[in-house]
């Protein structure tokens, strides 16, 4: 998918520099946008894929793939801020929490982390296959990413004062360019996808309406955080008529230093357009990949 012609792309523009200064700590630069997207076409597409041979594709897999393609079209939203500089990234890595409670891996920690690299390039079926392998490893007690495994062992084994000191040292080191790039290659996450509304089962009289978060500027920076909830039936107006449609609640939390409200709105609409016709992006069989982009910066 080509870069959106309306997407801001200059990390050194006057407004970006001004916002980097304006939103210095202790200010928070994150803004929350809550929408609901008609999931009728996407649900039909997933049902069609389910009827074919191959790895089963879930709603979360489709969201990972759609977010990957969306951030590829909006590269500044996929950037990272380190110190007071914007660092462009030429690949999209989607990190998402994995619930470990009730599984062998949950005996030591209740939450794992899945990182799907290159979500902007992989096919939908490839993303589904990688996701299922990673979730299986995490729930079996095997960390799927070496850097994450290191931090988990450090948190489990080190006394808390020593752990805090080690993390403070890491924070200072990751600002050095050659260390910063090595760390990104080890764990190339640029965005976060969380099922914030998982407990909200579809039931009469209860609708999920949104969430908010101010991600701390530690460990790693994410320009966007995406939250989804259970698909819920809602009355919406379609061609002047009120219809009941399956709606997917989506929360976008974005860093205002990278994009503004207008760009964030277009970002959400870009995602919605993919969900409105997934076959046009991922193919009827979910096997269409995207060409790698030219490296940035």
Judged against a pLDDT cut of 70, whether residue 93 lies above it is answered with yes
Work out the average pLDDT over 252-280: 95
Residue 75, both tokens: 């590269």
pLDDT of residue 202: 65
More confident residue, 154 or 9: 154
Task: Give 272's pLDDT tier (boundaries 50, 70, 90).
Answer: very high
Q: Tell me, rounded to whole angstroms, the distance of Cα 235 from its chain centroid.
A: 28
Q: In degrees to the nearest 10, what's the CA dihedral of 90, 263, 191, 100?
A: -150
Please report, for the chain, the start and end positions of each structural domain, with discontinuous segments joined by +.
Answer: 29-113+126-192+210-282
Between CA 187 and CA 240 the distance in angstroms is 48
Q: Tell me, rounded to whole angstroms, the distance of Cα 268 from its chain centroid.
A: 13
Residue from 31, 17, 33 nearest 81 by CA? 17
Q: Are 65 and 119 in contact (CB under 8 A)?
A: yes
Judged against a pLDDT cut of 50, whether residue 296 lies above it is answered with no
> If you count DSSP H runs as helices and E runs as strands, how many of each does the chain have, helices first?
9, 9
pLDDT tens digits, 199-218: 556 677 778 888 888 887 77
Q: Which of 11-15, 32-36, 265-269 shows the lowest per-residue confidence on average (mean pLDDT)?
A: 11-15
Judged against a pLDDT cut of 90, whether residue 53 lies above it is answered with no
pLDDT of residue 173: 83
More confident residue, 141 or 47: 47
pLDDT of residue 295: 44
For the 29-113+126-192+210-282 domain, the top CATH level (class) is alpha beta
Q: List all residues 6 or more positions away from 68 whose beta carbon is below 8 Å from its beta carbon.
A: 92, 94, 118, 119, 120, 121, 122, 127
Residue 172, both tokens: 């200072």
Q: Which of 97-101, 214-218, 273-277 shows the lowest per-residue confidence on average (mean pLDDT)?
A: 214-218
pLDDT of residue 196: 67
More confident residue, 51 or 202: 51
More confident residue, 116 or 295: 116
Task: Give 197's pLDDT tier (boundaries 50, 70, 90).
Answer: low
More confident residue, 185 or 30: 30
Judged against a pLDDT cut of 90, whether residue 40 lies above it is answered with yes
Task: Give 297's pLDDT tier (boundaries 50, 70, 90).
Answer: very low
Between CA 106 and CA 100 the distance in angstroms is 4
């Amino acid at each position: 998918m080509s870069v959106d012609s309306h997407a801001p792309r200059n990390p050194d523009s006057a407004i970006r520099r001004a916002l980097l200064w304006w939103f210095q700590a202790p200010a928070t630069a994150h803004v929350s946008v809550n929408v609901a997207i008609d999931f009728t076409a996407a649900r039909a597409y997933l049902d069609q894929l389910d009827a074919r041979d191959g790895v089963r594709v879930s709603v979360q897999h489709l969201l990972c793939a759609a977010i990957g393609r969306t951030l590829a079209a909006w590269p500044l939203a996929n950037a990272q801020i380190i110190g007071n500089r914007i660092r462009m990234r030429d690949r999209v890595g989607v990190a998402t929490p994995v619930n470990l409670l009730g599984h062998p891996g949950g005996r030591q920690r209740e939450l794992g982390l899945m990182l799907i690299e290159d979500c902007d390039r992989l096919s939908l079926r490839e993303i589904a296959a990688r996701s299922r392998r990673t979730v299986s490893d995490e729930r079996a007690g095997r960390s799927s990413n070496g850097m994450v495994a290191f931090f988990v062992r450090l948190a489990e084994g080190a006394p808390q004062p020593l752990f805090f000191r080690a993390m403070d040292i890491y924070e200072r080191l990751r600002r050095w360019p050659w260390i910063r790039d090595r760390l990104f290659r080890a764990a190339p996450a640029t965005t976060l996808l969380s099922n914030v509304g998982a407990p909200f089962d579809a039931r009469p009289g209860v609708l999920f309406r949104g969430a908010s978060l101010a991600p701390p500027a530690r460990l790693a920076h994410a320009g966007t955080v995406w939250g989804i909830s259970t698909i819920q039936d809602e009355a919406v107006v379609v061609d002047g008529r009120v219809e009941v449609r399956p709606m997917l609640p989506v929360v976008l939390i974005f860093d205002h230093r990278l994009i503004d409200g207008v760009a964030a709105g277009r970002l959400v609409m870009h995602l919605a357009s993919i969900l409105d016709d997934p076959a046009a992006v991922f193919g009827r069989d979910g096997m269409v990949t995207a060409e790698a982009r030219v490296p940035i910066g």
